[in-house]
Structure 1
Amino acid sequence: MPLIRDIVQADYSVVEELLYSNDLGDGRFYDPEGLDVVVAELHGRVVGVAEFQLHCDFGHDEGREAHPGEQTFILTMAVAHTDRRGGVGRALLAEIARRAQRAGHTFLALVPQDGADAAGRQAFFQACGFTLYGPAGPGAAWGCPVSEILAVKDTAAPKAGG
């Protein structure tokens, strides 16, 4: 299982490369200012990253369908291609869900990124319990109750920080 921890400045270049290799970054210097960011570490190397906002009112201004409770919005998740299907993505989601729960939030929301492997990203989020809410189409919102993410037994991962 990966170690999930807060990002530190020494991780920035690795995270930028990870995002870029997943078609989610532009290859420029990574700056997570204003975001909550956790990384997944296996055998001393960063193999996954998740950017999120614990306090976000996503959807209300855009007229998206209402959902129960306060929400945490997941902006970006990426896992190294060589470390996929090993529980890294689920461990990152579980850590976000734990932090959301501690903040009193009951719902996780996201908009799966377009581009290369968009179908794979959507399939991953569906497998984790996320469903479409609101109108379908580009930029469609997906969500999942925090309790559903935390109910999955194999999402428990060692944590540092948080």
Structure 2
Amino acid sequence: MIDTGFRVREARYYDYEAIVDLVQENAPHFDVTNYQMDRIVEEYAIFVAEDFDGRLIGWIEGETDSNYAGPGTDPAHPEPHGNGLYLVVNASARRKGVGRALIRAFAQACSDAGCTWMFILPDENNGVEGRLAFFKTLGFVDLAPDDDDYGAWGMPLAPLL
């Protein structure tokens, strides 16, 4: 087995403070003022990446029962659809496979819930071009390429599993 220097696992209630700290440090534009683990653990698929010292270095959260009906909808992939809501990786852990591993964990949860396709709405704040390049390397495609805005990106789950 390859030593990646981190592991991905489902989030637990006690991760709440570490998730908030990670977000405030690495994506301060996300409002986590009212972030509550008791609400979301049951409603969303949430995974964290931690280094082998137990420090949280990444977080993904999303819905496994969503319905994307916007441009680029693929009838070959009926609902439910996965909806990746948040992905944050500590700046010191980027480009080390953490984001990819978190996306794959979320994709597996979506597949387990009956999804065959997922979508994301990339964060448009600083660094958006790097985020879009990252999503492209995973296989996501812009669902409305003629639109000047950063809209939804989607892909089948199979390549991520």
TM-score band, normalised by shorter chain:
0.7 to 0.9
Measured in 2, the distance between the counterparts of 1:130 and 1:97 equals 12
In the superposition, the TM-score normalised over structure 2's length comes to 0.82
Give me the identity figure in percent.
29
Measured in 2, the distance between the counterparts of 1:81 and 1:4 equals 17
Measured in 1, the distance between the counterparts of 2:95 and 2:150 equals 26
Q: Quick check: 1:10 aligned with 2:17?
A: no
Native 8 Å contact 2:64 2:83 kept in 1:
yes
Partner of 1:22: 26
Partner residue of 1:137 out of 141, 148, 153:
148
User: Number of matched residues?
Assistant: 147
Q: CA deviation at 1:137?
A: 3.0
Tell me the C-alpha RMSD between the 2 structures.
Answer: 1.8
Measured in 2, the distance between the counterparts of 1:147 and 1:42 equals 27
Measured in 2, the distance between the counterparts of 1:54 and 1:122 equals 22
Larger relative contact order (CA 8 Å, sep ≥ 6): 1
Partner residue of 1:40 out of 34, 46, 49:
49
Partner of 2:73: 66
One-letter identity of the residue aligned with 1:14: A
Measured in 1, the distance between the counterparts of 2:30 and 2:16 equals 12
Measured in 1, the distance between the counterparts of 2:119 and 2:31 equals 24
- Please list every run of 5 or more consecutive structure 2 residues that lacks an aligned counterpart in the other structure: none
Native 8 Å contact 1:16 1:25 kept in 2:
no
Q: CA deviation at 1:149?
A: 1.4
Q: CA deviation at 1:122?
A: 1.0
Native 8 Å contact 1:47 1:83 kept in 2:
yes
SS of 2:148's equivalent?
coil
Query: Could you give the per-residue CA deviations for residues 30-72 of structure 1, whole angstroms, max 9, x where no partner exists?
Result: 32423321111111111100011000013x2xx4232231320
